[in-house]
Structure 1
Amino acid sequence: MVGVSTVVVVGLFLIIVSALTFTLKAGNDEENSKNANFNGGAVCNVTGNVDRKKFDAMVKRSGAIKDKADVIIDIAKEQGIDPVLMLAIIINETGWGKSSAIIEHNNPAGLMSSSGIIHYPTLDEGLQAQGRTLHNLIIKRGLTSIEKLGSAYAPVGAANDPNGLNKNWVPTVTSFVKQAGGLIMNCTAKDNEGIEVGENGKLTYFDDVIKIMLKFKGNPYVWGGSNPSTGFDCSGLMQWSFNKIGINLPRTAIEQYKATKRISKEDAKVGDLVFFRGTYGSPTHVSHVGIYVGGGKMFNSNGGGIEYSDITSGYWAKHSPEFGRIN
């Protein structure tokens, strides 16, 4: 592996018959990601399978990488990134596998050091470097969408793009992804506390209120508890914590349910309240509340204590989670 102090990703993007080079300053992305862990700025979950017919067809059209379909898939899996996205970016950056960087230097992403373009002994090593770089951009830096990656690879309005061609990067990569069968992973960014933040983002008060709630993480559940002295039940934790940031909520789960606006699962933001029915009493009784923290999880006080809980499976999923937004 070539050691670098600063890695610059230069993308070659074809416009009709001419080539345009994009520049990305990626810090030590290639060097630092050799032993990178997967607990950085994002988490990616597999949501489908590679369409090998479409994927392989794209690879076979792509010059120098025409026999590298399995290699790309294996590297992407190792780095925790989407192989379809990796392929689409490689095709875009190398002009269908025909750029001088990939032909002469086994460099599928135009990775450069301060002394010039990096030469890799083999194409597989160059592909591994590209995988590590994408891992750092997506997993570590949290650039979880093509649009976010585009802002790094080809920022619109950049000084080195006088003709405004950077605007083509996002739609072109998006088109290549579609041609290769579509993305097979869903990536979710994390905030500075390591909490996943979905595409809908988070409500402005969330950081303040969750910081308060986390002080009590691990404490036991107390029926009827509504303050630190007595301990907390579910709605008591919500009411007391929100009160500390100037937001007044009523006392019980059903009252908090009535005081909030119903939000669909698809539109839920980090910081919305999440309600459940039938954890005691009748099956339709709104009996429990927590705060949604993203990634299919809530923070709440329940019989197991004050903790994070998965609402997408098991006990909580069976009790009809509904989202409510504080007005």
Structure 2
Amino acid sequence: MKPGRRTWLPLSLLVMLLALAGCGETVPVVPDKPARPKVPVTQTAREQVGVPYRSGGDNPRTGFDCSGLVQWCYGVHGYSLPRRTEDQLRVGRPVEREDLQPGDLLFFNVTRKRWGLHVGVYTGRGLFIHSPTPGAKVREESLYERYWMRTYIGARRILPDQR
């Protein structure tokens, strides 16, 4: 190789090297198609307010469950997130509550058991959008309501700049 010439590692190799280097809790999420131009993830989520809850639902025509809503909103912007809430809890990087930015994923343990996880999209000013429960619709609520404060377990940041 000639001096001064750069070589580029394939992205998959780079991700594997980072994982082996001990990235720990952070799982990178790379967009697999062009993002929706100049529209924040929070606006995409807000446009779903009023869509009915549907167990296993993952689109606005038939309805959403919590993780389906998150996966679909990020998918519109070109990001492939896992389908299950438990798996979504492992992507991106952890964020402290005082450092939340719009677009961060908020996680709650609503039954205090592993399979009782719930996820929503933080929209700013202490609010988040989620698909709560059968019989309800996608809605925006305050993170500071007693129930959500009590069941909150953490947040993850998917996008580098979500403002």
TM-score normalised by length of structure 1: 0.34
* Partner residue in 2 for 1:243: 75
Distance 2:139 2:153 in 1: 17
1:293 Cα deviation from its structure 2 partner = 1.1
* Partner residue in 2 for 1:287: 117
Code of the aligned partner of 2:52: P
Question: Are the structure 2 counterparts of residues 211 and 320 from structure 1 closer, same or farther at C-alpha, using a change threshold of 3 Å?
Answer: closer
1:285 Cα deviation from its structure 2 partner = 4.7
Q: Find the partner of 1:302 among 118, 129, 132.
A: 132
Classify the secondary structure of the residue corresponding to 2:131: strand
The within-5 A match list for 1:24-103 is: none
1:286 Cα deviation from its structure 2 partner = 5.7
1:233 aligns with 2:55: no
Question: Are the structure 2 counterparts of residues 317 and 281 from structure 1 closer, same or farther at C-alpha, using a change threshold of 3 Å?
Answer: closer
Distance 1:218 1:229 in 2: 12
Question: Are the structure 2 counterparts of residues 246 and 224 from structure 1 closer, same or farther at C-alpha, using a change threshold of 3 Å?
Answer: same
Instruction: Please tell me the root mean square deviation across aligned C-alpha atoms, in Å.
Output: 2.1
1:222 aligns with 2:54: yes
Unaligned runs of 5+ in 1: 1-204
Distance 2:103 2:119 in 1: 12
Classify the secondary structure of the residue corresponding to 2:88: helix
1:320 Cα deviation from its structure 2 partner = 2.2
Classify the secondary structure of the residue corresponding to 1:288: strand
Classify the secondary structure of the residue corresponding to 2:89: helix
Q: For CA contacts below 8 A with separation 6 or more, give which structure has more relative contact order.
A: 2
Question: Are the structure 2 counterparts of residues 255 and 274 from structure 1 closer, same or farther at C-alpha, using a change threshold of 3 Å?
Answer: same
Q: Deviations over 1:270-297 (max 9, x none)?
A: 11111111x2461x55611111111111
Distance 2:127 2:48 in 1: 17
1:274, 1:322 within 8 Å by CA — same for their partners in 2?
A: yes
Question: Are the structure 2 counterparts of residues 252 and 319 from structure 1 closer, same or farther at C-alpha, using a change threshold of 3 Å?
Answer: same
1:274, 1:289 within 8 Å by CA — same for their partners in 2?
A: yes
Classify the secondary structure of the residue corresponding to 2:51: coil
1:257, 1:324 within 8 Å by CA — same for their partners in 2?
A: yes
Code of the aligned partner of 2:117: S
Question: Are the structure 2 counterparts of residues 289 and 306 from structure 1 closer, same or farther at C-alpha, using a change threshold of 3 Å?
Answer: same
Classify the secondary structure of the residue corresponding to 2:81: coil
* Partner residue in 2 for 1:276: 108
Distance 1:273 1:233 in 2: 15
Unaligned runs of 5+ in 2: 1-36
Question: Are the structure 2 counterparts of residues 313 and 227 from structure 1 closer, same or farther at C-alpha, using a change threshold of 3 Å?
Answer: same
Give the percent of matched residue pairs that are identical in Structure 1 and Structure 2. Answer: 34
Distance 1:320 1:213 in 2: 20
Q: Deviations over 1:36-72 (max 9, x none)?
A: xxxxxxxxxxxxxxxxxxxxxxxxxxxxxxxxxxxxx
Aligned residues: 121
Classify the secondary structure of the residue corresponding to 1:318: helix
Structure with bigger helix share is: 1
Code of the aligned partner of 1:310: S
